[in-house]
Amino acid sequence: MTLLDFRLADINTIPLNGLTSQVGNTPLLPLRRLTLRPAQGGALKLSPRVKIWIKAEWFNPGGSVKDRPALNIIQNAIADGNLRNGKRLLDSTSGNMGISYATFGAALGIPVTFAIPANASPERLTLLRALGAEIILTDPSEGSDGALLTARQLAAEKPDLYWYANQYGNPANSGAHYLSTGPEIIAQTNGQVTHFIAGLGTSGTLMGTGRYLREKLPNVKIISMQPDASFHGLEGLKHMPTAIKPTIYDESLADTNLTVRTEAAREMTLRLAREEGLFVGISSGAAAVAALQVASQLDEGVVVTVFPDAGYKYLSDKAMWEGK
């Protein structure tokens, strides 16, 4: 079954109402004041013919871009009969995907269980517990890959109890972005987008959105962004050369692959709050760094990137918000 075979579940059999009807159609907001600060100091001004727009994904009801794939995965699972008889949805998560699953699970009466690194932010763990999720904490030194391996083991040991959603290998993940994020960007930019940038975690955002944009705008540049090292502080993102690669990931899709240092992303996250009024998470800071790098090399163009979530799940990281 290919990406194009996947669709949002039949709305005639699974009503889209309440929370689920609010997923997607997030705003596209401009970056107006940020400039790139080269290592040697000063500021690098962008050409006035270059615009940077960000997809504000924290406007989704679960607070992040993960609402899109979580809902599509759940709806397809219901349509296929995978969540019958009280089966628990099982997956690994670094936080946001679990929160999205748990949000819709609570709304639809689906029990959920997650393997999550023990060093996930306290805010994320509190949200998951508040939403009624069962949490299995995994070795923080093993990161998201450790949680992934734990989820796989649980699914293999207890197939009658769990349905393994497998966000890293489920085509409904990237399919959600093919069906929604890509068309929204085309509509919101009037088809003028020239460069699209997305961070690599499951890779679903880049794969689904990038494929849709490439089909509709053959000359668009697709750019992936990831941490610059295996040990990093960019929650939700993977350093693909040293990580377990998601099976939905196709490294040939991106025209360019950029890396971002954790320190640069942290600095940019604070700058976004203070210079743009955008209180967002650290992966958004990383996306902004990459977008500014791309935009600084253009004479004209429309650069679009995705800001996955707001900063509220990172409040315990006081050093970042106080600029230390």
Q: Which residues are catalytic?
A: 66, 283
Please list, in sequence order, all residues whose beta carbon lies within 8 angstroms of the beta carbon of residue 51, skipping any fewer than 6 positions away. 30, 301, 302, 303
φ, ψ dihedrals at 231, nearest 5°: -95, 115
Strand 134-138 relative to strand 162-164: parallel, antiparallel, unpaired?
unpaired
Token pair recorded at residue 207: 């794969």
Are the C-beta atoms of 90 and 163 separated by less than 8 Å? yes
CA distance 231 to 258: 17
Helix locations, the chain, DSSP H: 67-79, 96-108, 122-130, 143-157, 171-176, 182-188, 204-216, 262-271, 282-295, 318-321
DSSP letter for 272, please. I
